[in-house]
């Protein structure tokens, strides 16, 4: 019996060395389980003479607690090894490249609009908006374009009813502002406009306009030239010149077509400017006295100037975009080039 106990103790000491957590659990069953080595000892115990039982009982219990203690110490050791192994395995290597997140960006048109707004805000203008569904009166009549006026044909639009339409220009915002506020007025009117144009490289049924309006005493054509020249320089670069060519628009007198010196060839002549050295940008002029009268401003006291450029045209010239339809096709290959 004594030998048996010794033998088991030796066996345990041998087997316990360098075991994994799983092996230790198995060892625990092997020694201490219901049919384990120690339990079997208790069966032998019955064969021991009565007077020796107390002695052997103590010996077996001693062995049992020796094994229990040994295993629990080893389990603790194995667990801490396991934990540090896991920690090592799951360590994050911060030098590895990260997962790239795809972020959106502002559309090139929105970026250009913001830029234009910033420039005019810095010159003391306020940015105004108005309804896209407009009354015939604000879109045409108040702007000196009565019914059957030929200028209406140039701006044919989408009618929702006989007198309600999608605005063809942002000028109705100007009329609404002049009705509401007394001069001095210094605003830009900005927003989406509509015309019944068949899409091609320079026309689209939807487009954006930026219009300026200044009304005050002693406003002259020189103020108009100065304002547009400064805007063009800030938008396209210091070397850009603005040219005014006499032209007709019903709501201004005198009126002028405005062009900027070609930003591609610097005015020497190229295919973009059709060898003229100039790029047409939009109309401008001194506000027609009839328009002022229509909104109750005395043209004998106040004068004003106005201009209207297309935002798509500005973005196309600035970024050398050849076709207006590209703005509206949502082609990521195009849009990504201008991700701000
Ligand atoms: Zn050119």
Percent with pLDDT over 70 in the chain: 98
In angstroms, the CA 5 to CA 254 distance is 120
Q: Where are the domains of the chain?
A: 2-89, 108-338
Q: Say if residue 103's pLDDT is above 80.
A: yes
| pLDDT tens digits along 149-164 | 766 666 677 888 888 8
Residues 6+ apart with CB under 8 A from 311: 109, 112, 113, 116, 190, 207, 208, 209, 210
Mean pLDDT computed over 271-300: 90
pTM over 0.85: no
Asked whether residue 72 carries a pLDDT value surpassing 80, the answer given is yes
Q: How far is the CA of 320 from the centre of ligand 1 (A)?
A: 11
Residue 154: its pLDDT value, please? 64
Ligand 1 centroid distance, CA of 64 (Å) = 99
Alpha carbon of 200 to ligand 1 centroid (Å): 21
Distance of CA 130 to the CA centre of its chain: 25
CB atoms within 10 A of CB 79: 12
Q: What mean pLDDT comes out for the span 123-129?
A: 93
Q: Cα of 271 to ligand 1 centre, how many Å?
A: 6
Written as six digits, the tokens of 73 are 């110490």
Query: Rounded mean pLDDT of 122-138?
Result: 92
Ligand 1 geometric centre to CA of 171 (Å): 30
| Residue 154 Cα to ligand 1 middle (Å) | 27
How far, in Å, is the centroid of ligand 1 from the Cα of 239?
14
User: Which architecture characterizes domain 108-338 according to CATH?
Assistant: 2-Layer Sandwich (3.30)
Mean pLDDT for the stretch of residues 283-312:
92
Ligand 1 centroid to residue 244 C-alpha, Å: 17
The rounded Å distance from CA 319 to ligand 1 centre is: 14
The strand pair at 185-194 and 126-128 is best described as: parallel
Task: Kindly report each contact of residues 290-299 with a partner whose C-beta sits within 8 Å and lies 24 or more positions away, as own/partner.
Answer: 290/144, 291/142, 291/143, 291/144, 291/175, 291/178, 291/251, 292/178, 292/215, 294/142, 294/144, 294/175, 295/142, 295/175, 295/178, 295/179, 296/179, 297/178, 297/183, 297/215
Q: How far is the CA of 260 from the centre of ligand 1 (A)?
A: 10
The alpha carbon of 264 and the centre of ligand 1 are apart by a number of angstroms equal to: 5
CA of 224 to the centre of ligand 1 (A): 25
332 token code pair: 């990521």
- Distance from Cα 104 to the centre of ligand 1, integer Å: 33
At residue 224 the predicted structure's pLDDT band, cuts being 50, 70 and 90, is very high
Calculate how far, in angstroms, residue 229's C-alpha sits from the geometric centre of ligand 1: 18
Percent of the residues in the chain that have a pLDDT greater than 90, as a whole number? 42
CA of 256 relative to ligand 1 center, distance in Å:
21
Q: What is the mean pLDDT of residues 109-136?
A: 94
| 309 CA → ligand 1 middle, Å | 19
- What confidence tens digit (pLDDT) does each residue in 151-205 have? 666 667 788 888 888 999 898 898 888 888 989 999 999 999 999 888 888 889 9
């Amino acid at each position: 019996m004594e030998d048996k106990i010794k033998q088991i103790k030796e066996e345990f000491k041998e087997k316990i060395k360098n075991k994994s957590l799983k092996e230790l659990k198995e060892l625990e069953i092997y020694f201490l389980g219901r049919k384990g080595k120690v339990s079997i000892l208790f069966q032998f115990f019955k064969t021991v003479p009565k007077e020796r039982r107390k002695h052997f009982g103590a010996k077996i219990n001693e062995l049992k607690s020796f094994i229990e203690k040994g295993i629990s110490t080893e389990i603790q050791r194995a667990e801490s090894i396991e934990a540090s192994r896991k920690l090592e395995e799951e360590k994050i290597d911060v030098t590895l490249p990260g997962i790239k997140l795809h972020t959106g960006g502002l559309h090139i048109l929105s970026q250009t609009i913001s830029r234009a707004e910033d420039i005019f805000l810095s010159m003391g203008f306020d940015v105004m908006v108005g309804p896209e569904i407009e009354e015939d009166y604000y879109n045409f009549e108040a702007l000196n374009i009565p019914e059957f006026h030929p200028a209406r044909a140039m701006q044919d639009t989408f009618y929702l009813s006989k007198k309600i339409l999608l605005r063809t220009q942002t000028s109705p915002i100007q009329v609404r502002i002049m009705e509401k506020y007394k001069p001095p007025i210094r605003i830009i009117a900005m927003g989406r406009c509509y015309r019944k144009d068949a899409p091609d490289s320079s026309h689209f049924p939807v487009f954006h306009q930026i219009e300026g309006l200044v009304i005050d005493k002693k406003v002259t054509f020189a103020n108009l030239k100065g304002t547009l020249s400064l805007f063009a320089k800030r938008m396209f670069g210091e070397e850009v010149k603005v040219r005014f060519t006499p032209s007709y628009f019903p709501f201004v007198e005198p009126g002028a077509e405005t062009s900027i010196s070609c930003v591609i060839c610097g005015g020497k002549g190229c295919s973009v400017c059709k060898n003229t050295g100039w790029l047409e940008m939009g109309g401008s002029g001194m506000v027609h006295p009839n328009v002022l009268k229509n909104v109750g401003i005395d043209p004998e006291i106040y004068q004003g100037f106005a201009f209207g450029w297309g935002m798509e045209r500005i973005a196309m010239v600035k970024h050398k975009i050849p076709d207006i339809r590209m703005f509206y096709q949502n082609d990521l290959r195009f849009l990504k080039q201008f991700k701000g």
